[in-house]
Amino acid sequence: MDYFLIGVLVFIAAGFVVIFIKGNLKGISFLLLTLTAQIFILPTAFQVLISGDSIEKIIQFSEPIGNAAFRIDPLSSLFIIIISIGSLFSAIYSFEYLKHYDKRKYSFSSFYFFFGLLSASMLLVTVVQNAILFLIVWELMSVSSFFLVSFENEKEEVRKAGIYYLISMQIGASFLIAGFAWLSNLTGSFDFNSYKNILSAQGTLSIILFLLFFIGFGTKAGFIPFHTWLPRAHPAAPSGVSAIMSGVMIKTGIYGILRIILLSGIPERGLSFFVFIISLITALIGILNAISQKDIKKLLAYSSIENIGIIGMGIGLGMIGLAYNIPLAALLGFLGALLHTVNHFLFKSILFYGAGIVYQKTGTRNIEKLGGLIKFLPFTSMIFLLAAMAISGLPLLNGFISEFALYLGMANSFSFNNAALNILIVVGFSGLALVGAMALIGFTKLFGITFLGNQREEHDHQPSEASSLFLIPMIFNLIFVFIIGLFPASIIQIISNAVGQFTQVNYSTELNSVFVVYNSLTKGLLLFIGIFLFFFIIRYFLLRKKEIKTFKTWDCGYQLESSKMQYTGSSYSLPFLDLVAAVVTQKTTVETEKEIFPSEAKLKTSQHDFVERIIIQPLLKYVRSFLNLFAWIQSGRMQQYILYGLIFLVLILIWIIGVR
Amino acid sequence: MLILFQIFILLFAPFLFLGIINRVKAIWAGKKGSPIFQPFFDFQKLLRKNEVISKTTSFVFRIAPTFNLAAVIFAFLLIPIPSFGSTISFNGDFILFTYILGLAKFLMVLAALDTGSSFEGMGASREVTFSSIVEPAFFILIGTLALLTGQTSFASIFSMLNSSAGYTELIEILFVAALFIMILTEGSRVPVDDPNTHLELTMIHEVMVLDYSGPDLGFILYSAGMKMVLLAVLAANLIIPENFSVAYTAIFLLLIIFITSVLIGIVESLIARARMSHVPQFIFLMTALSFIAFAVVIFFLRGGIK
């Protein structure tokens, strides 16, 4: 445990040290310290995860925190590993990414400072078991990431996105504060373990508390309808930050939900239904919106919402399994959720890294202006393609492994006498298939339009292949994408202790049956690779002695080809968006000159987030009109503000003397 | 025995399937038609030919047909053959079945976008749109069967289904009907798509592969036939009773493949290709059938079949 805490301190120290170092050494010293932190953190975390024995340290703080327990159990250790490795890679990537910026205009010191602080606070979130301290590190995490999001703060849209992000986080945190305050009031303690009795009791109180925490943590994770900050903050942040926020930070929300479930014991049946349904909706709406986006990073942000939904479905399925006592559903549900957490970290980081490279090399994130990048960035494109396949849940790669666990868990949770459960499961079953099919549309669009075909617009410079520091983190993640995709049994073995915490009873027979399934899956996939290689070799021999001619693409006899005639991203996704026009509103306005022979016309399309328009905006309107009633408090006159301070002091004085 | 029979199907069925469809259409139109083995001759010729590749394309374009072929053959190995058994079978194999075909689709779609042609982009766009309707419907079907039988692999689902009585015939009929729509969609046949059209603007699958030639086109031709055959074999699993002897099963199975191809030929002769905007409605028929099957199970068989 001490080693872990030292590691956390090294992260913070890394941020501090950088302030006093000048020039190029800044980044290098930060990288070296982050690397050192890994040496302290990873062995401890892996030891806990593999052995399954948690370690604990109690540190005494002054009031009001009191004794605070720092505990690493298998669940924490899994998240610690993701956070720690994710921070290192994003640091390496950001080091290279920042070279693009003017040193005099941007403060690199503050970037590294808040980066170190963000990593340290995320690590602490997963181990702190004291409500007040938890809220402190939770807020620290939100604030430090806010400063990272608004790195390019000279741009107005970045400032707006940053503030939007900060306010969303505060709204989420207010639910957490309410939940923890209520609990500590009832128990008189800040220790998580003392909340077990209340959270695991049957009745309305535990349900309300669970919902408070679900909303609070769900805002961080990006569950619908609290997802609106993601598509704003991710495009605004530098890519290394987007990667760590999407791949790692939103998972702390998932961690929080899982921690509450651990404390709640056997969940209420209704709650398990609720979590499952809201997650399915999150996944569906997330990917639907992703399909309609033009901005690469916005598309990826919506796809993060989708993946959070998939993780949530796993959690919901696991809760259903616990509530209805279906061992395989519980096991595969939580296994799927945790696996997908790891998987999403791996491929989403790659995709954001790739998006950042595209942005730096071409100066645009609009896929309608890109195209043909595979010729200029062959390695980046190849890695991006594999990550896009992984996130679409295709076999051979890791995304399939976690979705497979969910499907199998659902197929095993049919009951013979509960129609509601059966309907829910079939809806989830086909819903996940729909999510998969839509992910295929979204990511063929993203990769196909951006990297394939011909260049649609000229860029300032001809894009060139990314440097090795950019590629190293991507390749490293990719290796794990393949290992998990082809040999899933190994990773399931490693995380089985974390899953075991949820299933409580010993599910060793079920776990063994899962291993049997995954081992035959591996055999099947290897057979598939064998068949592919067989035909690949046959194709090679068929074409060996022939001279392959290259010619232009078949253009139907048309002579004046132009890269602008290619299918665009919007036209590619249009047939599908027409089908779902009720949910994803794509507004198209055409302006033409009202003449007999109009010479110019303008076409504008914009996408609207259905949920945001229906739920969030009206809600904000009501809140705003209510808060306007208090607008007179903020008058802008200094005298009045001083008066407030005076009144406050007097009241405190009266309270201390009179009431106490 | 199983492997020999599978190789037999793999070698002949896809070509005969396409040949029979064309023959039926020809006879229906009062023509003599090309030999039934014509697709096989075409295939042979294509394998011997040279390739012309667009200079816009990348490696994606080159590996996609091979991947597609491997995926279709692998998917065929996942389907059990009644009385023969299956090559690989495990709980949840139907998930791998759908997703491996999805993998092939992913790459074929990218290969189409790789050419930078607006026609092929159009085909790719339609292909993914329609498959986004088919896949959930297929999962409702399989989910219904899993609910009905309490099993989670193709082999155990089918053997359980065939050995039990009750409403299962109704479910089987609905399932086979839904699968037939899936064959028409995935195989790109009328009314979803017309493989014989000469206008690129109205095509789906054919337009996606406009730029292919030589062995790659041969692979695509074979995969297209094989995809329909494997769905027919899937349907056959529901039709052929459990206690048939191996020889009878083999004949029966080939008969079912034959009948399927004749049916597709008749459908193509009788009805015209649907307008592009009406195609989703036709495919939603499959979704509707799947929901009916599911409703039947929920309402009539909730007690479960023992």
Query: Chain A residue with minimal CA distance to B116?
Result: A453
Q: Are B272 and B184 in contact (CB under 8 A)?
A: no
Is the pLDDT confidence value at A631 over 70?
yes
Identify whether A590 is part of a domain: no
| Helix, strand, or coil (residue B224) | helix
The confidence score (pLDDT) of residue B301 equals 66
Q: Please report, as a single letter, which amino acid is at residue B78.
A: L
Which of B90, B115, B142 has the CB atom closest to A553's CB atom? B115
The confidence score (pLDDT) of residue B165 equals 64
| % of chain A beyond a pLDDT of 90 | 66
Interatomic CA distance for residues B72 and B67, integer angstroms? 9
Q: Which two tokens stand for residue A109?
A: 């010191």
**Domain boundary at A186, A211, A232, which?**
A186
Interatomic CA distance for residues A146 and A164, integer angstroms? 10
The confidence score (pLDDT) of residue A357 equals 95
The confidence score (pLDDT) of residue B305 equals 42
Query: Chain A residue with minimal CA distance to B125?
Result: A572
Q: With an 8 Å Cβ cutoff, is B90 touching chain A? A: yes
Q: What is the mean pLDDT of residues A569-594?
A: 82
Contact yes or no for B146 and A536 at CB 8 A:
no
The confidence score (pLDDT) of residue B306 equals 36
The confidence score (pLDDT) of residue B302 equals 56
**Domain boundary at A153, A186, A219, which?**
A186
Q: With an 8 Å Cβ cutoff, is B42 touching chain A? A: no
SS3 content of chain B, % helix, strand, coil (to 5): 75, 0, 25
Interatomic CA distance for residues A236 and A242, integer angstroms? 8
| Closest alpha carbon to A359 in A529, A262, A239 | A239
Contact yes or no for B121 and A542 at CB 8 A:
no
Q: Are A443 and A397 in contact (CB under 8 A)?
A: no
- Count Cα atoms within 13 angstroms, Cβ side, for A609: 26
Q: Are B189 and A445 in contact (CB under 8 A)?
A: no
Contact yes or no for A453 and B113 at CB 8 A:
yes
The confidence score (pLDDT) of residue B171 equals 86
* A110: containing domain: 1-186
- One DSSP character per residue, A297-341 reads HHHHHHHHHHHHHHHHHHHHHHHHHHHTT-HHHHHHHHHHHHHHH
Summarize pLDDT for A464-479 with one digit per residue, the tens.
888 888 999 999 999 9
Identify whether A600 is part of a domain: no
Interatomic CA distance for residues A440 and A430, integer angstroms? 15
As for the ipTM of the complex, it is 0.95
Contact yes or no for A539 and B116 at CB 8 A:
no
pTM, 2 dp: 0.94
DSSP state of B305: -
**Domain boundary at A168, A186, A204, which?**
A186
Identify whether A435 is part of a domain: no
In angstroms and rounded to an integer, the radius of gyration of the C-alpha atoms of chain A is 26
Q: What is the mean pLDDT of residues A473-497?
A: 94
Interatomic CA distance for residues A298 and A354, integer angstroms? 14
Regions of chain B where pLDDT drops below 70: 165-167, 198, 200, 301-306
Adjacent-strand bridge partners of A589: A604
- Strand ranges (DSSP E) for A395-496? none
Q: What are phi and psi of A424, to 5 degrees?
A: -60, -45
Identify whether A98 is part of a domain: yes
Contact yes or no for B129 and A430 at CB 8 A:
no
Identify whether A138 is part of a domain: yes
Query: Chain A residue with minimal CA distance to B109?
Result: A444
Is the pLDDT confidence value at A398 over 50?
yes
| % of chain A beyond a pLDDT of 70 | 99
Q: Are A267 and A325 in contact (CB under 8 A)?
A: no
Summarize pLDDT for A166-197 with one digit per residue, the tens.
999 999 999 999 999 999 999 988 999 999 88
Contact yes or no for B96 and A553 at CB 8 A:
no
| Closest alpha carbon to B165 in B148, B177, B143 | B148
Partners of A417 on chain B (C-beta within 8 Å) are 302-304
Identify whether A501 is part of a domain: no
Partners of A429 on chain B (C-beta within 8 Å) are 139-140, 142-143
The confidence score (pLDDT) of residue A554 equals 80
**Backbone φ/ψ region at A23: left (φ over 0), alpha (ψ -120 to 50), beta:** left
> CB neighbours (10 Å) of residue A110?
15
Which of A431, A452, A517 has the CB atom closest to B60's CB atom? A452
Identify whether A18 is part of a domain: yes
Contact yes or no for B116 and A453 at CB 8 A:
yes
The least confident of A87-91, A323-327, A608-612 is A608-612
Q: How far is CA A463 from CA A222, A364, A366, A377, in A?
A: 34, 12, 15, 7
Is the pLDDT confidence value at A362 over 50?
yes
Partners of B138 on chain A (C-beta within 8 Å) are 433
Which of A546, A550, A553 has the CB atom closest to B116's CB atom? A553
Identify whether A297 is part of a domain: no
Contacts of A317 (CB under 8 A, 6+ apart): A276, A329, A332, A333, A336, A337, A406, A409, A410, A413, A428
CB proximity under 8 Å: B 206-225 to A: 210-211, 214-216, 219
Contact yes or no for B66 and A532 at CB 8 A:
yes
Summarize pLDDT for A512-527 with one digit per residue, the tens.
999 999 999 999 999 9
The confidence score (pLDDT) of residue A522 equals 95
The least confident of A134-138, A525-529, A648-652, B206-210 is B206-210
The least confident of A363-372, A500-509, B219-228 is A500-509
Q: Which residues of A526-556 are buried (b: 16+ CB within 10 A; e: fewer)?
A: ebbeebbeebbeebeebbeeeeeeeeebbbe
Query: Chain B residue with minimal CA distance to A437?
Result: B132
The confidence score (pLDDT) of residue A518 equals 95
Contact yes or no for A555 and B53 at CB 8 A:
no
- Give chain A's domain count: 2
Partners of A440 on chain B (C-beta within 8 Å) are 102, 105-106, 109, 128, 131-132
Contact yes or no for A434 and B146 at CB 8 A:
no
Q: With an 8 Å Cβ cutoff, is B91 touching chain A? A: yes
Q: What is the mean pLDDT of residues A400-421?
A: 89
The confidence score (pLDDT) of residue B198 equals 64
> CB neighbours (10 Å) of residue A327?
18
Query: Chain A residue with minimal CA distance to B157?
Result: A411
The confidence score (pLDDT) of residue B304 equals 46
